[in-house]
Structure 1
Amino acid sequence: MYRKVLGLFLFISSALCAQNNTYTLKGSIEDNQYNGKKVYLQQLNDTRNGFTNIDSTIVMGNRFEFTKATQGNEPALRFISTEEPVTYAPAFFLAEAGEISLAIGKQNKVKGTLRNNRFQDFSNLQDSLNKQIESVVQTYSQMLQTSGNQAKMMQEGQAIMKQLQESRYEFAKENINNDLGEFIALSSFEVLTPDQVLELTSLMRPEFRNSDLGQQVISYYEAQNLKVAGGMYKDIKLKDPLGNDIALSDYVGKNKVVLIDFWASWCGPCIKEMPYVVDAYKQYKDKGFEIIGISMDEDQGRWLGTIDRLGMTWPQMSDLKGWKSAAAKLYGIDSIPYTLLLDQDGKIIDSNLRGTQLVNKLQELLD
């Protein structure tokens, strides 16, 4: 009798363990053209630039189903893709133990388990905020044709964008130890600040941080962070026009306001902007203002000729490697002209001042 009870206990325990370690995805798809066609259960590939098929099934009556074992302590991100012709982008869900419902259409909906429900709440908030932003943009565009209060509308739009940014950051951080948090973070980098991106990547699993993609992300946003007001400059040593070593630290932090000017002789907008920079230098070089030009040139003769022709009498530096310049990589420069204005200690005050904005700012700081 004891053996029978023990056997029954072990059987029930095994069944419960199997049940608790599986999920059933019950999917629906609103487009009738997929009846009789395959849908694919997928995961991200190792390089995260595509998908690997796990399984497939046939859509019948606009419905499909998968039952699979969960893996690991954290729910994994899974995707559902349709057979050709592809009408919908891959829908995704968290492979969390339990029954999950996924409705695929113009607006995908997922529910059934704790984290999938939380993700849907997050997704609903994102949709609502995006619609609000679209409404603000439309209203603002209409106001440009009238005498409406564009400034107030711009403030409303910025407030909504801030809410969108913070909600994506908080949700990604809350889930950063699973695939979903990493996926949301990776798809939100254009919305988040460099500080937020770097914090999220620091919390991600080592296999991402140490991957080629992870290292590229970290390097890029460390560079972007150098262009944010309040951050400190980073030193770099290049060659001056005479071939001598010259470093930013030779001039920065010497009790002067310093402008780092990224430019090139072949850059039309740079040449157009240069008279304003020359004028600012003439007015404020004796009042505690310095400029260091960092050129994206490759041709030394053209670089030196342009310096002389435009009257750029401030220090210049370059490694003559064009866009492969070490300075461009360090500071994340992907377009020029680009400027960074530093205070007397080397802290970034402002960036990308154009035209008379530079003189106006120097007047505020030095007059």
Structure 2
Amino acid sequence: MYGKVLGLFLLVSTAICAQNTTYTLKGSIEDDQYNGKKVYLQQLNYTRDGFIDIDSTTVKDNRFSFTKTAQDKEPALRFISTEAPISYAPAFFLTEPGEITLTIARRNKIGGTPRNNSFQDFSNLQDSLNNEIETVVQKYSQLLQTSGNQEKMMKEGQAIMKELQESRYSFAKENINNDLGEFIALSSFEVLTPDQVLELTSLMRPEFRNSDLGQQVISYYEAKNLKVAGAPYKDITLKDPMGNNISLSDYVGKHKVVLIDFWASWCGPCIKEMPHVIEAYNQYKDKGFEIVGVSMDEEQVRWLGAIDRLNMTWPQMSDLKGWKSAAAKLYGIDSIPYTLLIDKDGKIIDSNLRGNQLIEKLHELLD
């Protein structure tokens, strides 16, 4: 993941015409085994699957240094790799004018210039929050069987995760106009909300936004954003088992709570979950509850056979295109079973309720 993010980041980097100035990297390695061995100053190659050596030097007394020219407006990322045996992942720094310090260890440290200092402060905060999360997990494991502590531990962990998420978002946004901010944004997508990702991508360079990768990222997170609680549902028309057009709007917004159930006949977890869905339907279908099944099947015979075999008596739709289904693309579905619970006004209430969670939620809404 680390290498992929770096590759994607540098893929959209463009040459910058600016005055060249000097930077000196003063590095140290805590491990004595590298004395007398080489370290390499590198950048990613053009195919983004390896490194190009820019220069090399020999480690002496656990120290090394490079002096190079730097672009003074938008610093580039550069990497330091060690000669075998390789005990550390490539360390990186920003080519900012001035004296830069880099310590290669279990946790690397960079500093000496404003943006490298800023990134180190950010890294320290991330490390601190990650340590807090680990502490909470350990406490939760120890107290798991103690009544009354589970909810407290869960809330504490969620609060730290929220702070971790917000710190990554804020740092990326504050620095989005330089290489460092764009790098942090690209490496943080998996922990940010769809709204945050879409905002950051809107602020990135046109070269990224308009690239194939950029368009894929934007489309994916726009679809994910449709599944956030409070968001309005998006309508789609597919075919029912008889080949007739059927739309979500035929059922959503008709004074009923509607469960959109993404499933397939070949999906073992879907089949395993189905008795819970059937129980909920039988219990609440006369109280204002409806289900619309959206199948990721490709073969009509298997789709229809599963509907009959499982006694799924609610409306069904599919375009029989599997993962290329228009519904999967629209809602960003990349795993099943997946469900969306829609309120009477057409807004998402919750997602992916499992087991008794669905019945408990329907009890809250309809009893």
Structure 1 residue 171, shift from structure 2 partner: 0.7
Distance 1:46 1:212 in 2: 17
User: What's 1:296 paired with?
Assistant: 296
Distance 1:52 1:68 in 2: 16
Give the counterpart letter for 2:334 in structure 1. Answer: D
- 1:130 and 1:208, CA in 2 relative to 1: closer, same or farther beyond 3 A? same
- 1:46 and 1:291, CA in 2 relative to 1: closer, same or farther beyond 3 A? farther
User: What's 1:70 paired with?
Assistant: 70
Structure 1 residue 280, shift from structure 2 partner: 2.3
Distance 2:332 2:45 in 1: 28
Task: Give SS of 2:189's match.
Answer: coil
CA contact (8 A) 2:72 2:96 kept: no
Distance 1:221 1:78 in 2: 29
User: What's 2:280 paired with?
Assistant: 280
Structure 1 residue 47, shift from structure 2 partner: 6.5
User: What's 1:357 paired with?
Assistant: 357
- The aligned runs of 1:51-90 (5 Å cut-off) are 51-71=51-71, 73-90=73-90
User: What's 1:189 paired with?
Assistant: 189
Give the counterpart letter for 1:189 in structure 2. Answer: F
Cα RMSD (Å):
2.1
- The aligned runs of 1:30-109 (5 Å cut-off) are 30-45=30-45, 50-71=50-71, 73-109=73-109
Structure 1 residue 192, shift from structure 2 partner: 1.3
Which string of whole-angstrom CA distances, capped at 9 and with x for unpartnered residues, describes residues 210-267 of structure 1?
2232222222222222221111222222221112222223322233221100111122
Distance 2:39 2:187 in 1: 24
Distance 2:92 2:76 in 1: 10
TM-score by length of 2: 0.89
Q: Which moved more, 1:337-346 or 1:265-274?
A: 265-274
Structure 1 residue 366, shift from structure 2 partner: 2.4
Q: Does 1:235 align with 2:235?
A: yes
Distance 1:218 1:103 in 2: 36
Distance 1:135 1:81 in 2: 32
CA contact (8 A) 1:70 1:97 kept: yes
- 1:254 and 1:50, CA in 2 relative to 1: closer, same or farther beyond 3 A? farther
User: What's 1:344 paired with?
Assistant: 344
Give the counterpart letter for 2:197 in structure 1. Answer: V
Q: Which runs of 5+ in 2 are unaligned?
A: 1-17
Give the counterpart letter for 1:249 in structure 2. Answer: S
CA contact (8 A) 1:47 1:213 kept: no
CA contact (8 A) 1:76 1:178 kept: no
- 1:267 and 1:341, CA in 2 relative to 1: closer, same or farther beyond 3 A? same
Distance 2:287 2:321 in 1: 34
Q: Which moved more, 1:29-38 or 1:260-269?
A: 29-38
Give the counterpart letter for 2:102 in structure 1. Answer: L
Give the counterpart letter for 2:142 in structure 1. Answer: Q
CA contact (8 A) 2:21 2:72 kept: no
Task: Give SS of 1:186's match.
Answer: helix
Structure 1 residue 78, shift from structure 2 partner: 1.9
Distance 1:148 1:353 in 2: 23
User: What's 1:27 paired with?
Assistant: 27
User: What's 1:134 paired with?
Assistant: 134
- 1:194 and 1:67, CA in 2 relative to 1: closer, same or farther beyond 3 A? same
Distance 1:137 1:275 in 2: 33
Task: Give SS of 1:36's match.
Answer: coil
User: What's 1:4 paired with?
Assistant: none
Q: Which moved more, 1:191-200 or 1:47-56?
A: 47-56
Q: What percent of counterpart residues are identical?
A: 82
- The aligned runs of 1:253-264 (5 Å cut-off) are 253-264=253-264
Task: Give SS of 1:107's match.
Answer: coil
Which string of whole-angstrom CA distances, capped at 9 and with x for unpartnered residues, describes residues 264-291 of structure 1?
1122222222222223223333333221
Give the counterpart letter for 1:278 in structure 2. Answer: I
Structure 1 residue 148, shift from structure 2 partner: 7.0
Which string of whole-angstrom CA distances, capped at 9 and with x for unpartnered residues, describes residues 307-350 of structure 1?
11222121111122222322222222222111000112321100
CA contact (8 A) 1:258 1:289 kept: yes
Distance 1:255 1:107 in 2: 56
Structure 1 residue 145, shift from structure 2 partner: 4.7
Distance 1:53 1:204 in 2: 28
CA contact (8 A) 2:72 2:97 kept: no
- 1:230 and 1:243, CA in 2 relative to 1: closer, same or farther beyond 3 A? same
Task: Give SS of 2:71's match.
Answer: coil
User: What's 1:3 paired with?
Assistant: none
Distance 1:326 1:157 in 2: 37
User: What's 1:174 paired with?
Assistant: 174
User: What's 1:252 paired with?
Assistant: 252
Q: Which moved more, 1:296-305 or 1:252-261?
A: 252-261
Task: Tell me the matched-pair count.
Answer: 350
Distance 1:213 1:196 in 2: 18
When Rg is computed on C-alpha atoms for both structures, the one with the higher figure is: 1
Distance 1:47 1:173 in 2: 28
- 1:41 and 1:144, CA in 2 relative to 1: closer, same or farther beyond 3 A? same
User: What's 2:153 paired with?
Assistant: 153
User: What's 2:311 paired with?
Assistant: 311
